[in-house]
Amino acid sequence: MTPMRILIGCETSGVMRRAFAARGHDVWSCDLLAAEDGSNRHIRGDVRDHLHDGWDMLAVMHPPCTRLCNSGVRWLHVPPPGRTAADMQAELEAGAALFSDCWRAPIPRIAIENPVMHRHARALLPTDLPKPQIVQPWWFGEPYFKATGFYLRGLAPLTATNRLSPPRKAQEPDRHKAWSAIHRAPPGPDRWKFRSRSFTGIAEACANQWGGCAREQEVRHG
Express each pLDDT in 56-108 by its tens digit: 999 998 776 665 665 566 666 667 778 787 877 788 888 889 999 999 999 99
Half-sphere exposure of 123 (CA within 13 A, CB side): 6
Q: What is the pTM of this model?
A: 0.84
- Going by C-alpha positions, the residue among 80, 218, 205 that lies closest to residue 148 is 205
Could you tell me the pLDDT band of residue 7, with boundaries at 50, 70 and 90? very high
How far is 158 from 122, CA to CA, in rounded Å? Answer: 22
Q: What's the pLDDT score for residue 193?
A: 47
- Going by C-alpha positions, the residue among 86, 132, 129 that lies closest to residue 113 is 132
Higher confidence at residue 153 or residue 192?
153
Could you tell me the pLDDT band of residue 3, with boundaries at 50, 70 and 90? confident
Q: What's the pLDDT score for residue 14?
A: 95
**Percentage of residues in the chain with pLDDT exceeding 70?**
81
- Going by C-alpha positions, the residue among 143, 147, 60, 128 that lies closest to residue 95 is 60
Q: What's the pLDDT score for residue 67?
A: 57
Q: What is the mean pLDDT of residues 41-48?
A: 97
Helix (H) or strand (E) holding 9: strand 5-9
Q: What's the pLDDT score for residue 94?
A: 87
Higher confidence at residue 3 or residue 221?
3
The alpha helices in the chain, defined as continuous H runs, are: 15-21, 74-77, 85-103, 119-122, 173-179, 191-196, 200-221
**Residue length, the chain?**
222
Helix (H, G, I), strand (E, B) or coil at 42: strand
